[in-house]
């Protein structure tokens, strides 16, 4: 096949078209996960939605597959594909808040940092994730949960409408009144159906300050602390969200120096509400065992949203496995604590994300996100700096996978699937067949192929 006419594409867009060989191309193809090293044929850096339309139409006529880059965070590196046209939306990061109607319109390449920065000025927010450099669209299309989700649901549950460029290169809107089946699929079916150029979300009041921060415990106490954490989670109020992390202690001033660099258990706590009420809810956690250090305090909500940014900064090599748990059986807890003893690098961890609350108010078939009864998503993650550590880190993740598969419930959060192919059965669960029919309608030739891919129904 002859080389597509990229000069022609450049002539009709306002953004940049980057081809291999330039420093700008190299920078644009680099993703959060440094393990990913794919080479798109070209990268279209869209300046606005009409560039996206032009890019999709061009790709179709050139018979190219399209990958979409938002925040570039996906662990499987789905934003990039060898031989594909990458449509990079990172320049389309505008956020327009309408405080009177408690709504916000977010462009397709905005990050949580952009979103929270715009809405919290009005005392408003919508659920997102816990690291602010994550792309809003990528997170939302797969579901999206964070500190607000037990109170206000998934990011996807707060979507009012999606503006989408279809595979035909047409701009359409999907919401509860038009393109309703597509709207269903966009809330959990990830980037399979087109390019979201803008998403409108419902906003909620957030107090300026929330009670937020970690309490650390010794690894030797982790098994019994995690048992109590599991039991605490059952009756925890929805304003409260606690994630546990088996990790290496940071050199934090509130931790005695002798624990810096030791393996520990952290309970990262968030309470959205009155500080006094939050203190009453969260203080029992400090009684689970003798804490090594404690830094739960009233902080601006936006600070809580950025608290973990440095820990999960771009540029390390990353590989992880993830499994859904309705609850945490004692055997799983003991095996995971044992696994933590052999974490291969100080940046590696085993993260327990607490779900439940409002997320579970929605039925599994009401949106494409099926995992409504999940209590915890458990994610052992290896993070490392140099290729020399690839083998030891991969081996640890293989062990982690064995542990998870012994205990997990079978499903997996689509945004945490670390391989680009093969995870769709577990990710989409009982919604997969309906999603396949939708894919056949909206992308029958599977042009949008770089994602947790849904094969079009025959």
Residues found near ligand FAD in the complex (CB under 6 A)? 32, 67-75, 78-79, 89, 108, 129-131, 134-135, 137-139, 141-146, 190-191, 195-196, 312, 415, 450-451
Exposed, middle or buried, 341 (CB in 10 Å: 0-12/13-18/19+)?
exposed
**Rounded least distance, CB 331 to ligand FAD, Å:** 27
Whose Cβ is closer to ligand FAD: residue 71's or residue 357's? 71
**Rounded least distance, CB 31 to ligand FAD, Å:** 6
DSSP 170-217: -EEEEESSSSHHHHHHHTTSGGGS-EEEEEEEE-EE--SEEEEEEEEE
Whose Cβ is closer to ligand FAD: residue 75's or residue 219's? 75
Q: For residue 281, what is the enclosing H or E element?
A: helix 275-282
Rounded to whole angstroms, how far apart are CA atoms 376 and 63? 42
Rounded to whole angstroms, how far apart are CA atoms 454 and 424? 7
Q: With beta carbons less than 8 A apart as the criterion, state whether 192 and 106 touch.
A: no
For residue 352, count other CB atoms closer than 10 A to its CB: 25
Whose Cβ is closer to ligand FAD: residue 87's or residue 255's? 87
What residues does 214 pair with on adjacent strands?
268
**Rounded least distance, CB 414 to ligand FAD, Å:** 8
Whose Cβ is closer to ligand FAD: residue 190's or residue 215's? 190
**Rounded least distance, CB 149 to ligand FAD, Å:** 8
**Rounded least distance, CB 99 to ligand FAD, Å:** 24
Both structure tokens of 168 = 């035909």
Rounded to whole angstroms, how far apart are CA atoms 202 and 66? 30
330-340 and 390-407 helices, crossing angle to 10°: 170
**Rounded least distance, CB 324 to ligand FAD, Å:** 13
Whose Cβ is closer to ligand FAD: residue 131's or residue 302's? 131
Rounded to whole angstroms, how far apart are CA atoms 439 and 193? 6
Q: With beta carbons less than 8 A apart as the criterion, state whether 2 and 61 touch.
A: no
**Rounded least distance, CB 458 to ligand FAD, Å:** 23
Rounded to whole angstroms, how far apart are CA atoms 303 and 219? 27
Whose Cβ is closer to ligand FAD: residue 146's or residue 293's? 146
Whose Cβ is closer to ligand FAD: residue 84's or residue 403's? 84
**Rounded least distance, CB 217 to ligand FAD, Å:** 22
Rounded to whole angstroms, how far apart are CA atoms 224 and 216? 13
Whose Cβ is closer to ligand FAD: residue 73's or residue 317's? 73
Whose Cβ is closer to ligand FAD: residue 138's or residue 375's? 138
**Rounded least distance, CB 320 to ligand FAD, Å:** 9
Q: How many angstroms from the chain centroid is the CA of residue 416?
A: 7
DSSP 107-153: ETT-BHHHHHHHHGGGTEE----SSTTSBHHHHHHH----TTHHHH-
Q: With beta carbons less than 8 A apart as the criterion, state whether 380 and 285 touch.
A: no
Residue whose entry in the numeric block shows the structure tokens 């979201």: 196
Whose Cβ is closer to ligand FAD: residue 335's or residue 415's? 415
What residues does 298 pair with on adjacent strands?
211
**Rounded least distance, CB 69 to ligand FAD, Å:** 4
């Amino acid at each position: 096949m002859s080389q597509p006419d990229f000069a022609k594409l450049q002539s009709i867009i306002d953004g940049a078209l980057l081809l291999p060989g330039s420093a700008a191309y190299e920078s644009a193809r680099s993703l959060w996960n440094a393990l990913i090293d794919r080479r798109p044929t070209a990268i279209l850096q869209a300046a606005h939605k009409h560039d996206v339309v032009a890019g999709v139409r061009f790709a179709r006529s050139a018979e190219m597959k399209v990958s979409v880059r938002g925040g570039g965070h996906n662990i499987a590196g789905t934003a990039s594909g060898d031989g594909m046209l990458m449509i990079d939306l990172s320049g389309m990061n505008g956020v327009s808040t309408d405080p009177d109607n408690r709504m916000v319109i977010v462009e397709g390449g905005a990050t949580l940092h952009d979103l929270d920065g715009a809405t919290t000025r009005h005392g408003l927010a919508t659920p997102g994730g816990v690291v602010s450099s994550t792309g809003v669209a990528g997170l939302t299309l797969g579901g999206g949960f964070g500190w607000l989700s037990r109170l206000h649901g998934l990011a996807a549950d707060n979507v009012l409408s999606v503006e989408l460029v279809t595979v035909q290169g047409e701009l359409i809107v999907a919401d509860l009144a038009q393109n309703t089946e597509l709207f269903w699929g966009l809330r959990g079916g990830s980037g399979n159906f087109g390019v979201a150029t803008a998403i409108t979300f419902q906003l909620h009041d957030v107090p300026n300050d929330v009670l937020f921060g970690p309490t650390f415990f010794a690894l030797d106490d982790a098994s019994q602390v995690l048992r109590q954490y599991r039991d605490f989670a059952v009756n925890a109020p929805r304003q409260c969200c606690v994630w546990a992390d088996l990790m290496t202690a940071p050199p934090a001033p509130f931790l005695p120096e002798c624990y810096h660099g030791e393996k520990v258990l952290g309970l990262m706590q968030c309470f959205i509400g009155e500080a006094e009420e939050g203190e009453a809810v969260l203080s029992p956690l400090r009684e689970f065992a003798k804490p090594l250090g404690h830094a739960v305090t009233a902080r601006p909500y936006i600070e809580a949203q950025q608290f973990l940014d440095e820990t999960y900064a771009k540029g390390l090599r990353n590989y992880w496995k993830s499994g859904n748990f309705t609850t945490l059986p004692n055997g799983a807890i003991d095996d995971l604590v044992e696994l933590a003893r052999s974490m291969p690098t100080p940046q590696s961890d085993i993260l327990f994300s607490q779900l439940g609350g409002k997320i579970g108010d929605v039925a599994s078939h009401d949106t494409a996100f099926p995992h409504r009864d999940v209590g915890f998503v458990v994610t052992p993650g290896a993070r490392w700096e140099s290729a020399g550590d690839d083998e030891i880190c991969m081996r640890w993740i293989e062990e982690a996978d064995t542990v998870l598969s012994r205990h997990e419930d079978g499903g997996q959060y689509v945004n945490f699937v670390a391989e680009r192919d093969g995870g769709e059965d577990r990710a989409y669960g009982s919604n997969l067949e309906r999603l396949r029919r939708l894919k056949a309608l909206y992308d029958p030739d599977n042009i949008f192929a770089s994602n947790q891919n849904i094969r079009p129904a025959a």
